[in-house]
Structure 1
Amino acid sequence: MLQSQNPKQNSHVRIWILCLILFLSVVAYADRSILSISGSAIKEEFGLSAIQLGLILSAFSWAYVIGQIPGGLFLDRFGTKKVYGVTLALWSVSTILMGFIGEFSNGMTMALVLMFALRFALGLIEAPSFPANARAVIMWFPGAERGRASSLFASAQYFAVAIFSPLSGWLVSRFGWEWPFFVLGGIGVLAVFIWGWYMRSPKQHPHVSASELQYIEEGGALVDIDSAQTLKARPPLSKAMFKTLLSNRMLWCAYIGQYCIIALSYFF
């Protein structure tokens, strides 16, 4: 458990914030992975080939890549709470709609187009989720705890597989391939209200004690990263920013390292 050794600290709101973003990350990973579990039943019902199913599965990844930079720009412009809340609602609706493909389509071609479109939309909408997690951790956690906090939400993909793979498999076998989409989409809709109710910046949260706020601030947390003044003061996007992102050697090490981690996670 992440906690300060300061005896004056009498609230642990940041721990609950971490639990919340871990929960949202698990939902996000589960939403994107359930197609691989329902895929066989979907393929059989609509007469899809392995190539067509692979095309549908790839739609999420292409959109996720395309949405990364725009997602980051939206976070910088509108803040973590708004962007995460809106995208969570939209990707939950997209997940639920996947379960209604059989109602909307009148043949294999229509089903293929609709599933590709919804999976593409899911990838595009989920793109800001992990940058939003990182912003929340930077906002709420001092430097001494940030690494441990980040490692917890980064493990969400494995929690999602461990928890929802058996559940999704049972739902498919018991009720049909549509039900994992209905259940996970419904959980996401519920999570929208939990996020809107509980998520605040440290200075605005009603349950943060003065000692915890002081501990967070003195530890180097960017408690004002989502304040109205900070969001308005963001410099406009420029070629110089992209030049910095593409010419910094340390960033390239991070890019390559992350690529290798994701490749290993997806294919092995």
Structure 2
Amino acid sequence: MKQSSDKKQRTRVRYSMLALVFVNVAINYLDRTNISVAATEMGKDLNLSTVELGYIFSAFGWAYAALQIPGGLIADRFGPRVLYAFCLITWSIATLAQAFIRGFGALFSLRLATGTFEAPSYPINNRVVTSWFPDHERASAIALYVSGQFIGLAFLTPVLVTIQYYAGWKGLFITTGLVGLVWGVVWYLFYRDPLDHPRVNQAELDYIEEGGGLFRGKKPGAPQVNIWKWENLRQVISRRTLWGVYIGQFAVNATLWFFLTWFPTYLVKYRGLDFIKSGYLASVPFLAACAGLLLSGFLSDKLVQQGKSVGMARKTPIIIGLLLSVSIIGANYTNDTALIIFFLALAFFGSGMALISWVFVSILSPKHLIGLTGGVFNFMGNLASIVVPIAIGYLAKDGNFAPALVFIGTLGFIGACSYIFLVGKVERGSTPDEAKEDQLIFEKDQ
């Protein structure tokens, strides 16, 4: 009877924390993709070639990918409240400064800075969700916060296009930079970890912890885990299962980074669409990706709740999604605008389904190395943010975009094969220190 009473009285603070992360993600992607909207006019003003634009698009990824492992370690070391506020404010300053550049070198450097300060963001997101949500709600929570990138871009891309139309590409960078600065302060004022939040009650804390949420840290007297040891890095780069999700994430991000960089240019320059019209049509694939992501997250959690194996419930939507992303190649075989958008939207719908892949970080990582595992996972995936924009710049330099779409579709197929053949039994890894801790707990219980 008491359990039923506690359930009725349980607070739902975790959803308000998730809402804050959702906005963080929307702003994060706003500042990654504003340059894709600005690219056509900015490229003319700065006399940038197609290949140079490819390098500019990739600059964010060079720093972002390189700093994922340090970013993951930092996320394990520092609390989300202060660290995320710092990241939001610093990357927003770098965004705002892009309005005042005069050439390739300065723009490339500021895109590097944006990637540098955004690097810890997704490891922090994963840490927040792992702390605030039980295992059986985690895929849905991840789907909801990741959907921020698609919902934000779907509804804000027409706004960004309109801002640039009236205020120019410089006004676009100023506006998006100021939004991030303000939100950094809002995050710091309202976010708290579960044990520090004044509105969370014991019933909700018990519900989270009994469901596998990790917010209490190590038990008193347990051996200390040194996250900076090379042994820990070896733990998260030596397992075949993790390599399966790393390769899969590269494939997922290949499709994502086409849409975050070259997509508006593809519509305007290579398909001849009006700039304002392209802004509205660009919303359709982002909405499709959001639908795929939400469908995948809730379906995956539903399968877990029905007693299906974790491997089946988590992997199946991702594999289906990656196979659907291959449909992007279909856009090469039509000149009808509606069909072009259909194929692109279907591919991005599939990519969205596969983006619940972050749930594998929570499932497979040693419990005290979630940030490090998330950093390695995001590093591997975000190598696509370097490779794909540059590769497309070279593949499309002669005015033919078809090979670029074949390239992206092929990577999606490789990602599906990775989940089918490399990702085996789904179970959490453990460090030697954690194994020792578990043994001590077992002996004490005996």
Return the TM-score normalized by structure 1: 0.88
Q: Is the contact made by 2:135 and 2:213 (CA closer than 8 Å) also made in structure 1?
A: yes
Q: Which gives a bigger RCO, structure 1 or 2 (Cα 8 Å, sep 6+)?
A: 1
- Matches of 1:87 and 1:233, distance apart in 2: 28
The question of 1:248 aligning with 2:239 is answered yes
What whole-Å deviation, never above 9, does each CA across 1:118-153 have from its counterpart, x for those lacking one? 001111111111111000001111112111101111
In the other structure, the counterpart of 1:129 is 121
Residue type matched to 2:72 in 1?
Answer: G
CA distance in 2, matches of 1:60, 1:206: 38
Which residue matches 1:237? 228
Query: How much has 1:212 moved relative to structure 2?
Result: 1.8
C-alpha distance after superposition, 1:146-186 (max 9, x if no partner): 11101111222212320221111001111111122122111
Q: Structure 1 residue 236: deviation in Å?
A: 4.2
What stretches of structure 2 of length at least 5 have no aligned partner? 1-5, 259-327, 329-446
Which of 247, 255, 271 in structure 2 is aligned with 1:264?
A: 255
Find out whether 1:35 has 2:35 as its counterpart. Answer: yes
Identity, in percent, stands at: 36
Mapped to 2, the partners of 1:246 and 1:236 lie a distance apart of 14
Q: Is 1:72 aligned with 2:95?
A: no
One-letter amino acid of the structure 2 residue matched with residue 116 of structure 1:
F
Q: What is the total number of aligned residue pairs between the two structures?
A: 252
Write out aligned runs for 1:1-268 (5 A). Answer: 6-9=7-10, 11-101=11-101, 105=102, 111-225=103-217, 233-267=224-258
Secondary structure at 2:28 match in 1: helix
The one-letter code of the counterpart of 1:15 is Y
Distance 2:100 2:37 in 1: 17
Residue ranges of structure 1 left out of the alignment (5+ in a row): 106-110
- Superposed CA deviations along residues 49-70 of structure 1, whole A, max 9, x for unmatched, are 2222221111011111101001
CA offset at residue 235 of structure 1? 0.6
Whole-Å separation in 2 of the counterparts to 1:254 and 1:236: 22
Letter of the 1:188 partner, please give it: G
Distance in 2 (CA, whole Å) between partners of 1:224 and 1:84 is 20
Contact 2:96 2:173 in 1 (8 A): yes
Asked if structure 2 preserves the Cα contact closer than 8 Å seen for 1:76 and 1:234, the reply is no
Q: 1:79 to 1:189 in 2, by over 3 A?
A: same
- SS of equivalent to 2:150: helix
Counterparts of 2:238 and 2:49, CA distance in 1: 43
Which 10-residue stretch deviates more, 16-25 or 200-209? 200-209
d(CA) in 1 for partners of 2:214 and 2:41?
A: 47
Question: Normalised by the size of structure 2, how large is the TM-score?
Answer: 0.54
Q: Which has the larger radius of gyration?
A: 2
CA distance in structure 2 between the partners assigned to 1:218 and 1:16 by the alignment: 20
- Matched residues in 1 for 2:159 and 2:253: separation? 24
> Could you say what the CA RMSD is over the residues aligned between the two structures, in angstroms?
2.0
